[in-house]
Structure 1
């Protein structure tokens, strides 16, 4: 078992101290009564999922408390795996890669969403147990976002509970019409049961001009113009990552030397800012891990500027900061034993410094613990899959879609 974190040791110390301070000979029963199941549960729900599963080893009572299905809607859940798609015969096919090697926790095709209405559904984003889909009444290619509200609607669902909601039509973008390629989901069950969907608008020059924001609290869309002086162009397949009330995307500054940046916007669309990031000649990936935004990039071989030699993991420790800190490095050849393949990061574990990679042109998913420089496991993926986008899935068992129009 890996070494305990300082936070875990501190919590165990406090619990033991509390037991000892109130216990005298013959008063063990009274001490045990102070730490009821409800009180222990209140302590456990404040832990990250990784620590929670370690605490199953404290006692049989704690193990049963954590494993009780009645408590699943309160306790944090571990990463179950990644959703990804293949596109064949003008249809999206949905797949799930389990990080534990077990079966998918739900049918990735979500049949209850499209029995009669939708001809096709595309995975767009995932955030803390909720999934965002583009549900279409006609078949569209993954790169075709020139659709109208008569063709497609956004759908948000919770596959763990089967609840879902179709979003109302979005107001048409202001003139001159540009593109609406990027959309993201923002949801934090620890803060609120409500969610936001942000759809970014771009001018014909590809720079961001504004954002349309859907709030489940109001049930309506609103529009906000981009208020930054600098122009930002988003990468076409960038992931949206939600951390501490802010949505982050990857892009570059076309008016400079195409410097790479993170674009950050709050849920009201009033606060916009950019954060400079290390330049990535190859892949780059952002993700939420341990409550902070993380950024992974490739480093290249000194003798071969197209061959990836290692991975760098950077961290934005403070949401108010505009500076990333280098956290971990890893050598490709040391953990794969294969220097002839290029790899790219497709995900970052939400609870630890573990990254997920796929070889370029390959069909396996490699799991690597950067802290201990160990390969966790290798998973087989579907061939001919659209591996540009992998969406992390963490189960959410609470009924978070109060206004869902699904069952």
Structure 2
């Protein structure tokens, strides 16, 4: 190859192409290649900055039928049909008895017959089957044990590998279910130890433990190692995995009780509670202003939206012509934008912006059961593939 050919070949490898190649490399390789040249050092610094600025590549939610487990669909925040490769990988995610339980940091937690769990990475199709749980927690189909799931980066020097934790607790069997409980059994799994551990916690203040139905809160919200569940008794149960303590967190005092369905979710690092006032078609959203570990909760009302009124202004756009009213069946908060919720009613899913009072149609399930039979799970997927510890 002569000098002119070498010069042309060198010019063909443009800066954008180099950056794209580097984006596919793991962190350890990037660190090694920093010494190639000053330009490469700059490229790698920019690449790592983009990679770890915690901006999700894909944000949306999963929707799964409560009885037909293979009826699983994913919707992104910008489109209702996602990339074919990502979508096809979901076909192998479930067998006939598997349920999607939770999603965290780009990974999905699934369970089979309540005692077998596995974690799945849709970006890499990596599947990790977990050991059988110590506590069976056998309940009926509509009274599953409350479960929390969190994935996080532990090693700042190698952020391609993450660890995860699963927490669940047992609901006392009837007729003791509605009695005051002096203790609670917590079972947790850590990917670092690869074992389930069960601990009995003696409560400072006795509380009643109620089931957490599939339609209320399909998974826990987790903030800074604190797991929160909303149950049927209009209370939030809280487990601090760091200080090993368990208590109940009071709901907003000005909440209109007994007239709607509640939802608990986290977005942009904050905890939010939403009340769906069914007969009004209105949703009220509160934000937890106090520290997540403070047992005296301070809730601040953030948004009030009359979803029914907004939708019925243009019923033909939402496929509800002739409906005198709409009844919201379920909801889930946007993982990174707290003022946006995904709401299900009839056979429709919409996104609703509380700040703008704007509703947009996401999908209509034509010929399918109503949204009462579906569960919604918020989801964030990041641009880089990551591996489980």
Using the size of structure 2 for normalisation, the TM-score is: 0.70
User: In angstroms, what is the RMSD of aligned CA positions?
Assistant: 3.2
Q: Does 1:390 align with 2:363?
A: no
Instruction: Spell out, residue by residue over 1:304-333, the C-alpha distance to the aligned partner (whole angstroms, 9 max, x if none).
Output: xx5124211111133233222111111224
CA change 1:183–1:400 in 2 (3 A) is farther
Using the size of structure 1 for normalisation, the TM-score is: 0.67
Residues in 1 aligned to 2:105 and 2:58: alpha-carbon distance in whole angstroms: 11
Note the C-alpha offset of 1:354: 0.3
* Residues 330-369 of structure 1: pairs in structure 2 closer than 5 A: 330-337=305-312, 340-352=325-337, 353-359=339-345, 362-369=346-353
CA change 1:263–1:108 in 2 (3 A) is farther
- Matched with 1:312 is 284
- Matched with 1:233 is 210
- Matched with 1:201 is 170
- Matched with 2:266 is 288
- The number of equivalent residue pairs is 310
Note the C-alpha offset of 1:183: 4.3
Instruction: Spell out, residue by residue over 1:369-393, the C-alpha distance to the aligned partner (whole angstroms, 9 max, x if none).
Output: 1112112333223612664421122
Note the C-alpha offset of 1:213: 0.6
Instruction: Spell out, residue by residue over 1:141-195, the C-alpha distance to the aligned partner (whole angstroms, 9 max, x if none).
Output: xxxx5xxx5xxx1111111111111111111359xx8788224342243456111
Residues in 2 aligned to 1:119 and 1:348: alpha-carbon distance in whole angstroms: 28
Please give the secondary structure, in 2, of the residue aligned with 1:336: helix
Q: Does 1:274 align with 2:248?
A: yes
* Residues 8-407 of structure 1: pairs in structure 2 closer than 5 A: 36-41=42-47, 43-44=49-50, 47=53, 49=55, 76-85=56-65, 87-88=67-68, 92-105=70-83, 106-107=86-87, 110-113=90-93, 119-135=96-112, 149=115, 153-172=116-135, 181-191=144-154, 193-204=162-173, 205-206=176-177, 209-228=184-203, 229-237=206-214, 238-239=217-218, 240-251=220-231, 258=233, 260-267=234-241, 270-278=244-252, 279=255, 280=257, 281-299=259-277, 307-317=279-289, 318-321=291-294, 322-337=297-312, 340-352=325-337, 353-359=339-345, 362-381=346-365, 383-384=368-369, 387-396=373-382, 397-402=384-389
CA change 1:378–1:107 in 2 (3 A) is closer
Which sections of structure 2, spanning at least 5 residues, go unmatched? 1-37, 156-161, 314-323
Residues in 2 aligned to 1:241 and 1:391: alpha-carbon distance in whole angstroms: 11
CA change 1:235–1:183 in 2 (3 A) is closer
Please give the secondary structure, in 2, of the residue aligned with 1:182: coil
Q: 1:178·1:201 contact (CA, 8 Å) conserved in 2? A: no
Residues in 1 aligned to 2:364 and 2:262: alpha-carbon distance in whole angstroms: 23
Instruction: Spell out, residue by residue over 1:271-310, the C-alpha distance to the aligned partner (whole angstroms, 9 max, x if none).
Output: 21221113453211111111111111124xxxxxx51242
CA change 1:41–1:387 in 2 (3 A) is farther
Q: 1:234·1:249 contact (CA, 8 Å) conserved in 2? A: no
